């Protein structure tokens, strides 16, 4: 994996985290809890962030002060235990943790867009 690929995955994490936080603008917990489509859409965004994080090289992970194990672990939980998704945890992650993830990535990533890695 190249550093360029890592930048693309980190950029995808940032973009998806921004989308997740934006999707909750003006949404109360009660609205979230009663809207199945919103719950699953948010869980999917958290899953995407975890999948992108899983693809970042170990060397690049060490350069970022992020809870990589928890980010990737949450992805695994959503994918492999889809019937047991803790939507309270998904909400809490989006409201409490994603803003910090966004801030960390914004401080560390270049301003120009990064091209998504090619699939082989």
CA-CA distances (angstroms) from residue 81 to 61, 78, 84, 86?
26, 6, 5, 10
Beta carbons of 38 and 19 less than 8 angstroms apart: no
Between 115 and 49, the more confident residue is 49
Return the closest-CA partner of residue 102 out of 23, 20, 2, 25.
20
Domain boundaries, the chain: 3-108
Question: Stretch 42-67: mean pLDDT, rounded?
Answer: 96
Q: What is the pLDDT of residue 119?
A: 45
Q: What is the pLDDT of residue 76?
A: 92
Q: What is the pLDDT of residue 81?
A: 84
Got the DSSP string for 81-103?
A: TGGG--HHHHHHIIIIIHHHHHH
Model confidence at 20, in pLDDT bands (50, 70, 90)?
Answer: very high
Of 34-38, 70-74, 91-95, 111-115, give the lowest mean pLDDT range.
Answer: 111-115
Beta carbons of 61 and 68 less than 8 angstroms apart: yes
The pTM for the full model equals 0.87
Is the confidence at residue 118, as pLDDT, over 60?
no
């Amino acid at each position: 994996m190249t550093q360029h690929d890592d930048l693309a995955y980190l950029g995808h994490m940032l973009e998806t985290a921004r989308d997740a936080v934006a999707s909750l603008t003006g949404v109360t917990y009660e609205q979230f809890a009663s809207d199945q489509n919103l719950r699953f859409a948010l869980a999917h965004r958290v899953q995407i962030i975890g999948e992108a994080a899983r693809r970042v090289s170990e060397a690049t992970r060490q350069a970022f002060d992020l809870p990589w194990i928890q980010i990737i672990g949450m992805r695994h939980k959503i994918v492999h235990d889809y019937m047991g998704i803790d939507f309270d945890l998904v909400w809490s992650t989006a409201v409490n943790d994603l803003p910090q993830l966004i801030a960390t990535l914004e401080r560390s990533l270049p301003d120009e867009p990064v091209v998504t890695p090619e699939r082989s």
